[in-house]
Amino acid sequence: MESENRPFFVDSEVARLKRVMLHRPGKELERLTIDNKDDLLFDDILWVEEAQKEHDAFAEMLRDDGVEVVYFKNCLAQILRDEEVRSALLDEVLALEALDVPLSEALKRFLMEMPGSDLAEILIAGITKKETQALLGDLNSLVLRVANANDFFIRPLPNLYFQRDPYVFVRDGVIISVMTFSARRREPLYARYIFEHHPYFKGITMIFGGETTDTYPYNIEGGDVLVLSEDTVAIGLSQRTSPGAAQIVGRRLAQRVGIKNILAVDIPKARTYMHLDTVFTMVDRDAFTIYPGIRNVLGVWKLTYDAGGNLAEITRFDDLGEALKRTLHLENIRFIETGGGDPVAAARDQWNDGTNTLSIAPGKVVTYRRNVVSNQCLREHGIKVLEIRGAELGRGRGGPRCMSMPLLREELKNS
């Protein structure tokens, strides 16, 4: 079956993009304050209305290029119409919030009666003590009595517009992430429920995240996973993805979707480098954009698996380019340096997600307009660059790739 006849299939980073999952920023971003932004993993507070305009323009650009846009919130709202699914998900959500029995039971009874779209809004945007009391009145709940008016009983998920991180599609399967920080651990929970219960994803292969052992501290996040070819996946060993998880995922990828090679790329464990895709992304069959400050500090290992998921060989490479050439069977590799290689321009553009490109076809990418030097450098190397505004969206520390999860690409040989 050709990939375009399937609802989901991804076997490369650069083949023509046909379908993508996005989340439009919403009320959850209005929850950010100076006091809670650090706990919610933000460096700044966003102007929400402007961020929504920027995101809408991003989605429209993709549609203009023939990409179908699917929204995460709509998928969540649809599965919440099912009473059994709603009940089970609420049990897990409320347990994660460590509420006491009177509060949890009363809140669940109220939420069970809400329309699916309204419940999806609360599950994403959260609910405070003040809002809960307005709905439920007073309760014999110690948690309720102790909490301050603006404390959250269901925490908001302001990072959800970075759809790359909670899950990642590889061929006809999906890796459900295990997030490092508690602020994001409900995101993959919602994703798992969608992929298990939404008819759109019927028959999907659960590669990782569906078993009871697929949990903390085996952390893995989608921004560290790059699908380089039909048989090769790169996994960043970062602040947010552990080597143990990478090897388990490698084994599952071999067993369940036929991936033979994992390139494990060890990067510095710091927020500046956050995920592999903040310093390294694929922009054409033989071309990669890379932050020059990372080149000399990378560790690269190739893990080769047999069809049964057994690790047949592990090889250390001293150079990322050599690892890519040998693994992808390419004569030459083109590295396009962020900021054109200038240390100051590179550092500025890397902080502004200049390396976080979204490929929508071989040699065609979406970037933030603000990364002027890096965008010009891409064009000089023959890459077609489509620019979007990102003054507000970028404050969350993520670019066009971070904001999007490809569900369907053409097979690379057909692109």
Query: Which sequence positions are flagged as catalytic?
Result: 402
Q: Given the DSSP bridges, would you call strands 167-170 and 152-154 parallel, antiparallel or unpaired?
A: unpaired
**Euclidean distance between CA atoms 391 and 412, whole angstroms:** 33
In this structure, which amino acid lies at residue 267? Answer: I
**Euclidean distance between CA atoms 283 and 125, whole angstroms:** 34
**Euclidean distance between CA atoms 29 and 219, whole angstroms:** 25
**Euclidean distance between CA atoms 81 and 114, whole angstroms:** 9
- The CB-based long-range contact list for 27-35 (8 Å cut-off, 24+ gap) reads 27/121, 27/124, 27/125, 27/156, 28/124, 28/125, 28/126, 28/156, 28/157, 28/158, 28/160, 29/158, 29/161, 30/125, 31/125, 31/126, 31/152, 31/156, 31/158, 32/158
**Euclidean distance between CA atoms 198 and 221, whole angstroms:** 22
Cross-strand pairs, 79: none
**Euclidean distance between CA atoms 255 and 84, whole angstroms:** 32
**Euclidean distance between CA atoms 205 and 182, whole angstroms:** 26
Cross-strand pairs, 368: 388
In this structure, which amino acid lies at residue 323? Answer: A
